[in-house]
Amino acid sequence: GQQVKQSSPSLTVQEGGISILNCDYENDMFDYFAWYKKYPDNSPTLLISVRSNVDKREDGRLTVFLNKSGKHFSLHITASQPEDTAVYLCAAGASSGSWQLIFGSGTQLTVMP
Amino acid sequence: GALVYQYPRRTICKSGTSMRMECQAVGFQATSVAWYRQSPQKTFELIALSTVNSAIKYEQNFTQEKFPISHPNLSFSSMTVLNAYLEDRGLYLCGAREGLGGRQYFGPGTRLTVL
């Protein structure tokens, strides 16, 4: 089964609003959580990541919230702009041993001007 | 800074032929290299994880016989798609990282089209 799931394939938000992207995971060993942004025909770019020892991390307009008991993490983008329009991929991994990064299926965010 | 290059960026091969793609890490030591594939309409799937001085670990549905990988040093890895067929088309991504706790850097990908 899918170890990392993004249940919403798409999200549309008005310019200036808050975009909330969600991700669920299954593996209890995951202790690294990240959000990537992907434009068509390009490789994903890391936006923000968080380790399991914190439940929140902010970086400018981006905030990651981690709910370990619920095996859920989310990305909040405040003051959303049209240039935020892209596919957002969540990813999770386990840092013990040679860990792998497992990606979700992606959510297409569209910010309407 | 740390960069990952992939070559070629795009390639076309005939069904049943093989295609080799390369991944080059610059500015850091690629202790581990992960190869991913994004098939049309699908997410990125992990093919295999290669760590220098360790055995290459393949994910379910991917085998060494089909996707042999070479990781001879801390800056280079290559993967071959043997006997490529239509279902092998997609974007092949290389991710490399230094040590166990470092950030993973991705290359731009190799887009494979199979005719």
Identify which of B1, B19, B14, B24 has the alpha carbon closest to the alpha carbon of residue B108: B24
Query: What's the pLDDT score for residue B110?
Result: 94
pLDDT digits (tens, 9 = 90+) for B47-63: 999 988 888 999 888 99
pLDDT-derived band at B1, boundaries 50, 70, 90: confident
Query: What's the pLDDT score for residue B100?
Result: 67
B32 to chain A, any CB pair closer than 8 A? The answer is yes
Give the integer Cα–Cα distance in Å for A79 and B35. 35
Query: What's the pLDDT score for residue A112?
Result: 97
Q: How far A38 CA sits from the closest chain B CA (Å)?
A: 11
pLDDT-derived band at B101, boundaries 50, 70, 90: low
The mean-pLDDT minimum among A78-82, A105-109, B48-52, B76-80 falls in: B48-52
Q: Is the dihedral of CA A53, A54, A58, A63 positive or negative?
A: positive
Has residue A97 got a pLDDT over 60? no
CATH number for the segment(s) A4-112: 2.60.40.10
Mean pLDDT, chain B, integer: 91
DSSP string covering B42-74: S-EEEEEEEETTS--EEPTT--TTTS-EEEEET
Has residue A9 got a pLDDT over 70? yes
**Contact criterion met (CB < 8 Å) for B109 and A43:** yes
Contacts of A102 in chain B (CB under 8 A): 46
What is the domain partition of chain A in residue ranges? Answer: 4-112
Cβ contact B114:B97 at 8 Å: no
**Contact criterion met (CB < 8 Å) for A105 and B106:** no
Q: Which of the pair, A44 or A76, is modelled with greater confidence?
A: A76
Query: What's the pLDDT score for residue A99?
Result: 60
Has residue B94 got a pLDDT over 90? yes
Query: What's the pLDDT score for residue A40?
Result: 77
Cβ contact A52:A32 at 8 Å: yes
CATH number for the segment(s) B3-102: 2.60.40.10
pLDDT digits (tens, 9 = 90+) for A18-66: 999 999 999 888 988 999 998 877 788 889 999 888 999 999 999 999 9
Name the 3-class secondary structure at A82.
helix
Q: What b/e readout covers B67-104, taking b as 16+ CB neighbours within 10 angstroms? A: bbbebeebbbbbbebbebeeebbbbbbbbbbbeeebeb
How many percent of chain B have pLDDT more than 90?
70
Query: What's the pLDDT score for residue B90?
Result: 93
Q: How far B102 CA sits from the closest chain A CA (Å)?
A: 9
Query: What's the pLDDT score for residue A96?
Result: 65
| A111, HSE (Cβ side, Cα atoms, 13 Å) | 19
